[in-house]
Chain A
Amino acid sequence: MNYENEKELIKQAIDGDRKAFNTIVNKYKKRVFYTAMKMVRNKDDAYDITQDVFISAYKNLGTFKGDSSLFTWLYRITVNKSIKFTTRDKYRNMLPVNEIGNDEKSKLRPDMDYRQKQLQNRLDSAVIELPPQQRAVFTMRFYDGMPHNEIARILNRSEGATKANYFQAIRKLRESLSDLFPINANSSITDEVQK
C-alpha cells in the first residue's frame, strides 16, 4: 500500500491497519533504538525499550495530535521510558558497570579493537553514572543534536534548567574520565586506557 504522507499513514494505523503501523515501526526503529541505547548503554535493554515505545505508540496513536512530528512524539516516549528505566532500583543496582556491555559492544561495533572497547566501556560507565535527567539531556543534546529549547520543551522544563543539566553532565564526565586526559601529555587516550 502506498501512503500519500505521514498523516495518512498515521490515520491508517489508528484505524487498525497493522501494515501502516509496521511501516511506522520500520521507519523509526533505528532512531528510537539509537536514543535508547545511548541512554541505557545496553543492547538488550535498549531493544526492550524500543519495543515498549512502539507498543505504547500503538495503544496511544489516537492521542497523537499532530502538533509535532511523529518522530518527536516517539522521541518523547523513548526519552521518558529510558529515564523511567534507569531510575528503577534494578538498574541502579547494576552500578558500577565496568564490565557492562563488553560482548554487546563487540556485536554492535565489530570494527573496534580491544583498546577501543576498553575505552568504550569506560565511557559507558561514566555516562551510566550520570543522574537520569542529566543523562537524558546529555543524550538529547550531544547524540541527537537537539537544540536546548527543544530539549526543554520535550522534558517540560525551562531551557535554563536543561542547559545547566547538560553542562553539569559534561563536567561530570570530564571528572570521571580525567585520568584519560593527562595534561601536557602527548600520549593518546587509548594509551592511557591501557595503563
Chain B
Amino acid sequence: MNCKDYQDKILELLDNGIDPLSDKSVSSHLSECTDCEAEYQRLSRLFNLLEDDKGLEVEGSHLDNLVVDVNRAIDREKKIIHFNPQYIISFITAAAAAIMIAFIGTSNFSGSGLLSNNITWDNILSISHYGFPVEQIIESALPDSTLRDAFYSEIGDKGLNEMENYLIKTSDYNNLINTLDESELEYLNSKIQAEMKNIS
C-alpha cells in the first residue's frame, strides 16, 4: 500500500466511526510517515468539528407556525386558477366586475340598488370581452341605455371616479383572488372554464 491508499483507508475508517489508530497496518504506517500522520490529524480534527455541528437542536417554537403556513399555502393554491394566457384578461375583467358589484353593494350611492338588481353573472361574462374602463363595464352590466343613464345620474362623477379607483386598486391579481369569497370564485371559475371550452 502506498500513502494514498493509507490516506483513503484513514478516511474510510473515520467515516465508519472507527479510530484509524486501532488498525494495526495504519498505525504502523503513521508512526513512520509524517505526511500521513499530518493527514490523519487534519481529518480527525475535521471529523471532530463536524461531530459538534451535528448537534443542531431545532427549537420547537421555531417550527410552531409551520402547520398553519403550510395549510395557508395549500388553501391559497387551491384558490388560484391556473391560467391560460388566453383567458387571463377575461378572468381579471370578470373578477373586476364582481368586485364592482361588491363596491356598489357597500357604497352609499343610490345607484347601487339599480346596478346590483340588474347585473347578472351572464352580464359579467360578457364584460370579460371588454377592457378595464369602468364605462365599458357599466355599459355591459346595464345594456339598457335608459337604466344606464339613470345609474349615471344617480351616482354622478364622484361615484364614477370612486368606482374607477376601486377597480384600479383591486385589479392586482392577488388582491382580486383574495377579495372573492369561495362561492363567487367557484362560480366564476366554472363559468370561465365553460367559456374556454367554447373558445377552444
Contact = CB atoms under 8 A, between A and B. Distances in A.
A141 B50 CA distance: 12
Contacts, number: 89
Interface residues of A, number: 40
Centre residue among A51, A108, A177 by max chain B CB count within 10 A: A51
B32 interface: no
B58 A33 contact: yes
Determine the main DSSP class of A at the interface with B.
helix
Interface residues of B, number: 28
Interface in B1-51: 8, 11, 15, 38, 41-43, 45-46, 48-50
B70 interface: yes
A29 B50 contact: no
A33 B63 contact: yes
B70 A177 contact: no
B144 interface: no
Contact of A189 (B49, B56, B70): B49
A123 B43 contact: no
Contact of A180 (B8, B45, B58, B74): B45
A143 B52 CA distance: 11
B70 A167 contact: no
B38 A183 contact: yes
A47 B11 contact: no
Interface in B175-191: none
Interface of A: 18, 22, 25-26, 29-30, 33-34, 37-38, 43, 47, 50-51, 54-55, 58-59, 107-109, 119-120, 123, 141-143, 166-167, 170-171, 173-174, 177-178, 180-181, 183-184, 189
20 contacts: A22-B67, A25-B66, A25-B70, A33-B62, A37-B56, A51-B70, A54-B66, A55-B73, A55-B74, A58-B74, A107-B62, A108-B57, A123-B53, A141-B15, A142-B54, A170-B11, A170-B46, A177-B46, A181-B41, A189-B48
